Chains A and B, each alone.
Chain A
């Protein structure tokens, strides 16, 4: 079709092409619905565009981070970062502690192209946090509601890990679902030994990376037992994916499709159904409403012609990223919804959450002068530490209500921009032959521990429309309000002490300041790029924007499929839950079409 068409009515318009939009488009198109996907960035194909083995020396500044490419030249992110030219956002406060840094990726597949692939399930407590400790909100669903979708999502996208640990609030996947976990690296084993002494569990991480090829003869029938089309397109997709060859960073994307990107795993099979149309460079401004109070389409700005285009759909799924989704809702004003579509609760944009982040580095003498070994591995973690102090927390022995998991990094990675930059404190400024010796000695001996912790939603962390600023597409922009509570700040301080203990237990030296004041350790809001909330789901339409099917309470054919429905933000990285939830929502939408409710 041509991008300017306004005649055709689609069954469903999906706004966004990342984890939530990609999953929605796949499930809806497999069910036979005619789907239009709108993406604000350009078309992107990891198979032809990924710089797989390219060396830093071939890149400007040896691949260093710049404002144009904040995660480095080879990072998959295109037209994205903390700032997007021509698309500003504003802060309500100048205080650093009250900032929200908003990472966007304007490209097909969105942030799935560069993400860390960490795929942890929320546990039972994570869906009912209010019931457990009186803070925040319960979700209107429980772990049991989402568990089958976690199973299916893991089988579809391919997640490595292992099972059978039985740890509290750290769900094991059923047997036969996960891909085999890769063997741990040397520094990971050393960290495990230290953690064993500290009674911190260390188990294989779950990452969305194929450690072996998917079984395309068995899995499609398990995933889509009643859909020949679904089995066919998913089998084709699985056959096109190779297993990881244990080289090149996932953050660049993956031309052999060994890791999960919406652009390699969700959108191609969705297109293969023949039921999906994708329009890129389409910046959605608002969802439109008909006289009956139902959504009847969206208006987007075609970035190439700078013209606005209206497209019609019988249902609309917004998956533009949590804050962008709230922005679209707030900008969708009508006589029925003067404060934004589906906003009778007044809660659109409210309860924005990120993940608590704080980290500590260390140098480990035991790792010095080891023989050369290849530690590239999957490029992500092979082991991690899930939260372990549930009982102490329940007993009131900690000064923060929720937990964190630990992500560790280190090893003999490829030297890039900044290599050996921090060495002078170890060598008292060596140069010459002494410097070369020191680089040989210290290479691969540095480790880093990052805490990723739960933030409790609060009244002071939200986004609203800035009444005075529009972007270059004429769309009013978001103004962010942010405030950490004592729970997050105290948690960040706890991370600092824990990581120092682990490093010391490894016989190492801590190389960063250990902050006892969590305010100094905690990273800015938004900077972990786990933005969720903004159109939260709930059981009470006065206290939430969406019901348990991520369906707007006020507009029955309007749905949200990204992180915006999250009623809490467990320490578990959100992407897997976004996909599982989007699949469940899509099943519900298909059912509503069948019952002619839409």
Chain B
């Protein structure tokens, strides 16, 4: 994932720094880098940037950690992601937009929340396949749509899940949340719900008369 930036020398240096960071596993300054030109009458040499995870290049973001999940896990997550957000007339499916790769990026991150989610997702996938084999004698991905739904229906809402399935429900909720993040942060996902902002405009005109009437704020 660190490869989607361009090949300027600065970024090659940055990539080297990131590799170092990823292996060092501690957030310490590791490498001096040519930085932003200082417009102030300050020292120039001293103003050189040192890469820190607290000071990433926000204009050319990179994911500075390596990916953890196996291909088999990614395949299973793709199946699950498409069950959660399938294609319809309005937009494509979550897996077709790479939701499984986003989940991999998420659970591979070196932060406490994501490390906990790695355990939840990996353990959940093994549990899911075990549950599938117990019920139907096959791995989850090999089940029919109806069989898959039968399991998902039992774990889609933790408050109503059976006591022995609550951990499965917690796993499903996590994958649903991550799939939703993956899908709705893409352009097709934004279009699906009608997000039309992030565009420069000459004026902000407020809600239309149609909206005001619907809200009974105007007759």
Q: Is there contact, CB below 8 Å, between A436 and B192? A: yes
Q: Tell me, yes or no, whether A366 is within 8 Å of chain B by CB.
A: yes
Q: Is there contact, CB below 8 Å, between A57 and B186? A: yes
Q: Choose among B27, B38, B198 the residue that contacts A68 (Cβ–Cβ < 8 A).
A: B27
Q: Is there contact, CB below 8 Å, between A415 and B55? A: no
Residue from B58, B186, B203 having most chain A Cβ neighbours under 10 A: B58
- Chain B nearest CB, measured from A273 CB (Å): 12
Q: Known interface pairs A78-B55, A85-B54. Does A370 touch B211 (Cβ–Cβ under 8 Å)?
A: yes
Q: Is there contact, CB below 8 Å, between A277 and B196? A: no
Q: Known interface pairs A85-B27, A189-B207, A421-B181. Does A277 touch B36 (Cβ–Cβ under 8 Å)?
A: no
Q: Tell me, yes or no, whether B163 is within 8 Å of chain A by CB.
A: no
Q: Is there contact, CB below 8 Å, between B54 and A79? A: yes
A80 to chain B: which residues have CB within 8 Å?
Answer: 54
Q: Is there contact, CB below 8 Å, between B54 and A271? A: no
Q: Tell me the chain A residues, 411-467 only, with Cβ under 8 Å from chain B.
A: 412-421, 423-424, 428-433, 435-436, 439-440, 443-444
B190 to chain A: which residues have CB within 8 Å?
Answer: 414-415
Q: Is there contact, CB below 8 Å, between B197 and A81? A: no
- Chain A nearest CB, measured from B168 CB (Å): 12
Stretch of A243-251, A318-326, A337-345 that contacts chain B: A243-251
Q: Is there contact, CB below 8 Å, between B105 and A428? A: no
Q: Known interface pairs A3-B42, A67-B111, A419-B185. Does A435 touch B54 (Cβ–Cβ under 8 Å)?
A: no
- Chain A nearest CB, measured from B125 CB (Å): 16
Quick one: closest A residue to B53, CB to CB? A68
Q: Tell me the chain B residues, 76-123 only, with Cβ under 8 Å from chain A.
A: 83-86, 88, 90-91, 102, 105-106, 109, 111-112, 114
Q: Is there contact, CB below 8 Å, between B160 and A417? A: no
Q: Is there contact, CB below 8 Å, between A443 and B194? A: yes
Q: Is there contact, CB below 8 Å, between A66 and B111? A: yes
Q: Tell me, yes or no, whether A587 is within 8 Å of chain B by CB.
A: no
Q: Tell me, yes or no, whether B25 is within 8 Å of chain A by CB.
A: no
Quick one: closest A residue to B204, CB to CB? A246
How many B residues touch A, CB cutoff 8 Å? 84
Q: Known interface pairs A186-B215, A419-B184. Does A414 touch B88 (Cβ–Cβ under 8 Å)?
A: no
B84 to chain A: which residues have CB within 8 Å?
Answer: 431-432, 435
Q: How far is the CA of A152 from the CA of B137 in the complex (A)?
A: 76
A190 to chain B: which residues have CB within 8 Å?
Answer: 215, 217
Q: Tell me, yes or no, whether A279 is within 8 Å of chain B by CB.
A: yes
Q: How far is the CA of A372 from the CA of B197 in the complex (A)?
A: 10
Q: Tell me, yes or no, whether A51 is within 8 Å of chain B by CB.
A: yes
Quick one: closest B residue to A4, CB to CB? B43
Q: Known interface pairs A66-B109, A246-B201, A247-B198. Does A183 touch B206 (Cβ–Cβ under 8 Å)?
A: yes
Q: Choose among A4, A43, A55, A424 the residue that contacts B38 (Cβ–Cβ < 8 A).
A: A43
A290 to chain B: which residues have CB within 8 Å?
Answer: none
Q: Tell me, yes or no, whether B63 is within 8 Å of chain A by CB.
A: yes
B177 to chain A: which residues have CB within 8 Å?
Answer: 418, 420-421
Q: Is there contact, CB below 8 Å, between B200 and A245? A: yes
Quick one: closest A residue to B214, CB to CB? A370
A371 to chain B: which residues have CB within 8 Å?
Answer: 194, 208, 210-211
Q: Is there contact, CB below 8 Å, between B193 and A440? A: yes
Q: Is there contact, CB below 8 Å, between B58 and A74? A: yes
Stretch of B7-15, B44-52, B67-75, B128-136 that contacts chain A: B44-52
Q: Choose among B38, B52, B196 the residue that contacts A374 (Cβ–Cβ < 8 A).
A: B196
A79 to chain B: which residues have CB within 8 Å?
Answer: 52, 54-55
Q: Is there contact, CB below 8 Å, between A60 and B192? A: no
- Chain A nearest CB, measured from B53 CB (Å): 4
Interface size class, chain A:
35 or more
Q: Is there contact, CB below 8 Å, between A304 and B53? A: no
- The binding surface of chain A is classed by DSSP as loop
Q: Is there contact, CB below 8 Å, between A245 and B105? A: no
- Chain A nearest CB, measured from B208 CB (Å): 7
B207 to chain A: which residues have CB within 8 Å?
Answer: 185-186, 189, 373
Quick one: closest B residue to A48, CB to CB? B36
Q: How far is the CA of A416 from the CA of B18 in the complex (A)?
A: 25
Q: Known interface pairs A278-B42, A439-B180. Does A56 touch B88 (Cβ–Cβ under 8 Å)?
A: no
Q: Tell me, yes or no, whether A486 is within 8 Å of chain B by CB.
A: no
Q: Choose among B59, B169, B197 the residue that contacts A376 (Cβ–Cβ < 8 A).
A: B197
Q: How far is the CA of A64 from the CA of B55 in the complex (A)?
A: 15
Q: Is there contact, CB below 8 Å, between B43 and A60? A: no
Q: Tell me, yes or no, whether B17 is within 8 Å of chain A by CB.
A: no
Q: How far is the CA of A182 from the CA of B204 in the complex (A)?
A: 7
B47 to chain A: which residues have CB within 8 Å?
Answer: 42-43, 280-281
Q: Is there contact, CB below 8 Å, between A435 and B176? A: yes
- Chain B nearest CB, measured from A72 CB (Å): 10
- Chain B nearest CB, measured from A190 CB (Å): 6
Q: Choose among A189, A278, A417 the residue that contacts B217 (Cβ–Cβ < 8 A).
A: A189
Q: Choose among A50, A189, A412, A439 the residue that contacts B192 (Cβ–Cβ < 8 A).
A: A439
Q: Is there contact, CB below 8 Å, between A372 and B194? A: yes
- Chain B nearest CB, measured from A402 CB (Å): 33
B186 to chain A: which residues have CB within 8 Å?
Answer: 57
- Chain A nearest CB, measured from B97 CB (Å): 9
B197 to chain A: which residues have CB within 8 Å?
Answer: 247, 374-376, 412-414
Quick one: closest A residue to B186, CB to CB? A57
Q: Tell me, yes or no, whether A296 is within 8 Å of chain B by CB.
A: no
Q: Tell me, yes or no, whether A308 is within 8 Å of chain B by CB.
A: no
Q: How far is the CA of A189 from the CA of B45 in the complex (A)?
A: 53
A429 to chain B: which residues have CB within 8 Å?
Answer: 156-158, 160, 169, 172-173
Q: Tell me, yes or no, whether B39 is within 8 Å of chain A by CB.
A: yes
Q: How far is the CA of A265 from the CA of B112 in the complex (A)?
A: 38
Q: How far is the CA of A57 from the CA of B183 in the complex (A)?
A: 10
- Chain B nearest CB, measured from A301 CB (Å): 12
Q: Is there contact, CB below 8 Å, between B43 and A3? A: yes
B46 to chain A: which residues have CB within 8 Å?
Answer: 3, 280-281, 302, 304-305
Q: Known interface pairs A62-B185, A436-B88. Does A49 touch B58 (Cβ–Cβ under 8 Å)?
A: yes
- Chain A nearest CB, measured from B136 CB (Å): 19
Q: Is there contact, CB below 8 Å, between A186 and B211? A: yes
Q: Known interface pairs A415-B189, A419-B180. Does A247 touch B199 (Cβ–Cβ under 8 Å)?
A: yes
Q: Is there contact, CB below 8 Å, between A45 and B198? A: no
A3-B42, A108-B40, A428-B160 given. 18 additional CB < 8 A pairs?
A: A3-B43, A42-B55, A43-B36, A45-B36, A55-B185, A59-B61, A61-B109, A78-B55, A79-B55, A246-B204, A247-B201, A278-B42, A304-B45, A374-B201, A419-B181, A429-B156, A431-B84, A443-B195
Give the 5 A-B residue pairs with the shortest CB-CB distance, closest first.
A429-B157, A183-B206, A372-B194, A429-B156, A245-B200
Q: Can you report 21 A-B residue pairs in the complex whose CB atoms are below 8 A from each other?
A: A2-B43, A3-B46, A43-B38, A49-B58, A55-B187, A60-B109, A61-B106, A62-B102, A64-B181, A66-B109, A69-B54, A79-B54, A108-B40, A186-B217, A245-B200, A246-B201, A278-B41, A371-B211, A428-B157, A429-B169, A432-B86
